Chains A and B, each alone.
Chain A
Amino acid sequence: MDKTVKEPLIHITKRRMVSKKREWTVRIVSILLALIVCAIVTAVTTHLNPFAVYASMWNGSFGSERKMWVLAKELAILLMVSVALAPSFKMKFWNLGGEGQVLAGVLATAACMVYLGDKMGNAGMIPLSLISAIALGALWAFVPAFFKAKWNTNETLFTLMMNYVGIQLVAYYIIKWESPKGSGKVGIINQNTQVGWLPSLGGKPYLLIVLVAVLVTVLMYIYLRYTKHGFELSVVGDSQNTAKYVGIKVDRVIMRTLVLTGAICGLTGWLMVAGTDHTITTTLAGGRGFLGVLVAWLAHFNPIGMLLSGFLIVFMSRGASEISTAFGLNKAFGDILTGIILFFVIGSEFFINYQIHFRKSHRKEAADV
């Protein structure tokens, strides 16, 4: 009897075709499961009613009109960074320099506002700062792209290093522009004249940012999907040999795409300084250059999908800070919940693409004997 042949307990096979319906069912089920696990973790570790905690998280994003605007603004900024990174990653250029590219835009905008704030009005300042921010952001991405295209340097390290260069440069100018002296900070720039500040549309300070983000997202969707440039960059991403074979100039595509990425990052930096913060700190990009990679990847580089994945991230982070104030919980607790949900969302991709077979019951065979 001990010679009985046993199948392995589980074995895993890749699915061939996955229907859209199945994909979304798996995703929704995984989020529900994540919420159940979060509820258990909440109940066990904090002894709070998990539903009260969830309600409070919901309040963090939708509790008041102001909170909804903050959510929209945060989502808009994160979405812009993700959308900016999408073409790089689609081209398999591992651009980890989103942080630095945004900061470059921040720095250029702040520099215009600081140095030229008393020399021109908004009619000159807004286009000027916009162009400078886009140009400096694009330059920040162009440098690693150029080295990659010409000498095949490793873009991951290069873009990462460019972040630190950006941060140090900003730190230097913060000391230089310090106000008031000795505070170690740059206060609100042009507080009295409001030169370089973006106008608020219809009394809604964040409306402009949201509109720009929507526009950029839609344009990027069209660019990646329907243009010759978009097609070329996905060929380069999949196979450089094939690209050369059909006559695509690979180095030119790499540089062109990264300039686009950098430009949108620069634009984001401009929106942050001119649109909302009106100041400059080294942490203004706030990790969005990295978070954006996650958002873009979760959406498989589809800009419309990034709206959903971006929303999930922003919603969780707003919720996390809300529960930390409402229940006096440590901020880290919110991060734990975010982590659990992300784990399930990313894990769901595995269940979408693979099938797990458990050992079939042997009752039928037994009946035959």
Chain B
Amino acid sequence: MRNISKSFGSIQANDKVNLDIYRGEILSLLGENGSGKTTLMNMLSGIYFPDEGEILIDGEPVMISSPKDAYDHGIGMIHQHFKLVNVFSAAQNIVLGMETDPDGKHISKGKMDIAAASKRIREICDLYGFDVDPDQKVYDMSVSQKQTVEIVKVLFRGADILILDEPTAVLTPQETEKLFNVLRNMRADGKTVVIITHKLHEVEEISDKVAVLRKGQFIGELITSETNAQEMTNMMVGRQVELNIDRPEPKDVKPRIEVKDLTVRSEDGILKLDNVSFTANTGEVLGIAGISGCGQKELLEAIAGLQPIESGDVLYVNDDGSKESLIGMDPIEIDRKGVSLAFVPEDRLGMGLVGDMNLADNMMLRSYRHGSIPFTDRKTPRELAETIVDELEVVTPSIDTQVRRLSGGNVQKVLVGREIALSPNVLMTAYAVRGLDINASYIIYDLINQQKERGVAVIFVGEDLDVLLELCDRILVLCGGKVSGIVDGRKTDKHSVGLLMTKVGGGEIG
């Protein structure tokens, strides 16, 4: 790729980027949020068209203006958000939209040979070590299986260059390991793999080379075996960064939230939480680990009054030691009780914020009820928005910008900033740093530690075990809706938590 530039309105997403990708290598594309990694790869795979510059494959300039063009040149991309039809089987999804079979033979419309396709899918799977049942319907699949289908789909179309956009964001450590093995098999077969990521230990584990982007510009390329996490981080962020997460000693630890025998069923009657009991203490970070979909979402929502429960109790312990049940109350009633509960949900734009509203109006979500007149106070939220933009270094044109136009990290800063501005006594976060780059992640960890030192009971649902082990005082492990253990964050290690996550007897993935 030569001198590639792309801008969106006034935002320069890529600025004269030069990137060389060689056959048979695994290249990591590293960069912070909004550094232009995905945009660059989208141009390679035909989603966007570059404003400037050219793309050469094997020395020939090529013109890629649609994903089909990209496939014709052997380039396939696996996006962060899967693009599969739920009611179709794996094989149907894989052949969907194809006009020719991989040998170039024309498939006439309405005569798609699913059986032959299935056979070929099995061959691909055997070659690289995938595990796909061509007849399984997509809605029956776990996230990792769906990802596998996406990869097979790209291979089926004869791609030699695979681009994976943050493939591990949704996977457990075990699934990630499986994926990496498959990628290594592909490399052995002469395929080229580009993986977009900002997880440094994965870069070190899987890739041959690392290309670093910062603010749309190409910063440099490193041979993985000759570099280290610190050097990569510095290149990515542009200055020296401390890579250790603080963990202040908990002070003045008292019970704040007691969850007793909590059982929750989803609307379809599936058991999501099964007799969950624990205590969250003031001045302490309680981590919640588990494979995704093991009841984390339901647990937090049940405490926040958003999830009807089947049995059990959630008790709030006042400063004087008296206890009140929060069961059956909605968020407003909980707030009126004087329980200031801050909640950073997993789905930031779909639940925590309103994507189409600007920063100021999103601040108003928590405060608009204040005052007894029927009119809203618009001034205070605007001031709060200004403060958050200043203090958390939110990158936004103005506080009148719609939040869905911000990048993932900035959206999260807005949400966390608003919730902390409630001066909560309980703070719950779900995947607070998912999709965030190192810099933004550390800002969030600092904020969490500040709240902990203020005496807030923090519940931190996380997916990165390294982070959970460095940040949390205690870690509760959920497995299939059951508590499979509560361990001391200072005394345990990744292996034992990993074992609890897949403890026998509750290993089903919801």
Contacts and interface: CB of A to CB of B under 8 A. Distances in A.
A226 interface: yes
Contacts of A229: 374
B354 A239 contact: yes
Contacts of B356: 238
B331 A247 contact: yes
Contacts of A14: 8-9
B345 interface: yes
Interface string B357-389: 100010011101100001110100000000000
A7 B49 contact: yes
A226 B9 contact: no
A234 interface: yes
B330 interface: yes
Nearest to A236: B354
A327 interface: no
B63 A7 contact: yes
A242 B8 contact: no
Contacts of B10: 16-17
Contacts of A8: 49, 65
Contact of B63 (A6, A15, A226): A6
A6 B11 CA distance: 25
Contacts of B331: 244-247
- Summarize A's interface: helix, strand, loop or mixed: mixed
A55 B358 CA distance: 45
Nearest to A12: B49
A142 to B, nearest CB: 21
| Interface size classification for chain B | 35 or more
A22 B313 CA distance: 57
B351 to A, nearest CB: 4
A235 interface: yes
Nearest to B11: A16
A6 B62 CA distance: 9
A231 interface: yes
Nearest to B335: A247
A241 interface: yes
Interface in A265-304: none
Contacts of B397: 17
A244 B375 contact: no
Contacts of B369: 228
A5 B368 contact: no
A286 B378 CA distance: 40
Interface string A1-31: 0010111100101111100000000000000
A11 B11 contact: no
Interface of B: 8-11, 49, 54, 60-63, 65, 304-306, 330-332, 335, 343, 345, 347, 349-357, 361, 364-366, 368-369, 374-376, 378, 397, 405
Interface of A: 3, 5-8, 11, 13-17, 226-232, 234-235, 238-239, 241-242, 244-247, 249
Given A229-B374, A235-B354, A235-B365, 11 more contacts: A3-B61, A6-B63, A16-B405, A227-B376, A228-B369, A228-B375, A231-B364, A234-B357, A238-B354, A245-B331, A245-B343
